């Protein structure tokens, strides 16, 4: 004699639910975060610069960009090493060109510094 095994719908759902519950319990991992979780960048310190002199056509955009990167480094959006590199580039190019009255040259150099570091 041949026996056929039939499970009722409620027995099947009950067994499926139990299996799903055990599977999820095994995957929970105890609720701890993995060690490789990324951390927020620590804010840096803004530099103190000398007064910017020169025509307002170059002095104003340079001052605005300096204020922007100062804000970015103090909020942690910009790393301290990149900030220091930006300040070095500004001190070597756009700032002295503007102070010497070479407005177009200062604006061109400022645009190069900005784009090389991802700013517009």
Q: Is the pTM of this model over 0.75?
A: no
**What is the pLDDT at residue 34?**
45
Q: Are 98 and 55 in contact (CB under 8 A)?
A: yes
Q: Please give the Cα distance from 47 to 81 (Å, whole number).
A: 12
Non-local (6+) Cβ contacts of 8 within 8 A are none
User: What pLDDT was estimated at residue 1?
Assistant: 54
Res 43: pLDDT: 84
Predicted local confidence at residue 33, as pLDDT: 44
Residues of the chain with pLDDT under 50: 12-13, 24, 31-40
């Amino acid at each position: 004699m041949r026996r056929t095994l039939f499970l009722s719908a409620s027995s099947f759902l009950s067994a499926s639910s139990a299996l799903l519950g055990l599977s999820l319990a095994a995957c929970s991992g105890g609720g701890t975060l993995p060690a490789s979780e990324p951390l927020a960048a620590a804010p840096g310190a803004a530099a103190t610069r000398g007064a910017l002199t020169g025509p307002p056509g170059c002095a104003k955009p340079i001052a605005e960009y300096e204020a922007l990167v100062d804000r970015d480094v103090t909020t942690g959006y910009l790393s301290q090493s990149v900030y220091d590199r930006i300040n070095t580039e500004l001190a070597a190019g756009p700032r002295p060109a503007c102070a010497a009255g070479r407005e177009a040259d200062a604006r061109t150099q400022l645009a190069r510094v900005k784009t090389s570091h991802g700013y517009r």
